[in-house]
Amino acid sequence: MRIATWNINSVTARLPRLLAWLESTGTDVLCLQETKCTMEQFPHDELRAIGYEAAVNADGRWNGVALVSRVGLEDVVTGLPGGPEYEGVQEPRAVSATCGPVRLWSVYVPNGREIGHPHYAYKLAWLEALRNAAAQDAAGGRPFAILGDYNVAPTDEDVFDTAFFEGQTHVTEPERAALAALRGTGLSDVVPRPLKYDRPYTYWDYRQLSFPKNRGMRIDLVYGNEPFAKAASDAYVDREERKGKGASDHAPVVVDLDV
The listed CATH number (3.60.10.10, 3.60.21.10, 3.40.50.2300, 3.30.2320.80) that belongs to domain 2-257: 3.60.10.10
> Could you give the CA distance from residue 4 to residue 106 in angstroms, rounded to a whole number?
10
- For the chain, what percent of residues have pLDDT higher than 70? 97
158 is catalytic: no
Question: Of these residues, 28, 52, 108, 201, which one is catalytic?
Answer: 108
Binding-site residues for Mg(2+): 7, 34, 149, 151, 249-250
The whole-number pLDDT of residue 196 equals 54
Question: Of these residues, 52, 122, 137, 149, which one is catalytic?
Answer: 149
117 is catalytic: no
- First-to-final CA distance of the chain: 7
| Virtual torsion, Cα 83, 144, 43, 59, nearest 10 deg | 0
User: For the segment 209-259, what is each residue's pLDDT rounded down to a tens digit?
Assistant: 999 999 999 999 999 999 999 999 999 999 999 999 999 999 999 999 999
Assign 197 a pLDDT band (cuts: 50, 70, 90).
Answer: low
Q: Specify whether the CB–CB gap between 42 and 56 falls below 8 A.
A: yes
236 is catalytic: no
What is the identity of the amino acid at 72? G
pLDDT > 80? residue 175: yes
Assign 178 a pLDDT band (cuts: 50, 70, 90).
Answer: very high
User: For the segment 5-42, what is each residue's pLDDT rounded down to a tens digit?
Assistant: 999 999 999 999 999 999 999 999 999 999 999 999 99
Q: Which helix (H) or strand (E) holds 204?
A: strand 203-204
User: For the segment 137-173, what is each residue's pLDDT rounded down to a tens digit?
Assistant: 999 999 999 999 999 999 999 999 999 999 999 999 9
The whole-number pLDDT of residue 12 equals 96
> Could you give the CA distance from residue 256 to residue 240 in angstroms, rounded to a whole number?
18
User: For the segment 47-79, what is each residue's pLDDT rounded down to a tens digit?
Assistant: 999 999 999 999 988 899 999 999 999 999 999
Question: Of these residues, 28, 137, 203, 250, which one is catalytic?
Answer: 250
**CA dist 48 → 15, 78, 81 (Å):** 13, 20, 28
Q: Specify whether the CB–CB gap between 66 and 58 falls below 8 A.
A: yes
> Could you give the CA distance from residue 190 to residue 175 in angstroms, rounded to a whole number?
19
Binding-site residues: 7, 34, 149, 151, 249-250
The whole-number pLDDT of residue 61 equals 82
The whole-number pLDDT of residue 73 equals 98
- Say if residue 194 is preceded by a cis peptide, omega within 30 of 0: yes
Torsional class of 134: left (φ above 0), alpha (ψ -120 to 50), beta (otherwise): alpha
The whole-number pLDDT of residue 191 equals 86
Domain boundaries, the chain: 2-257
pLDDT > 80? residue 120: yes
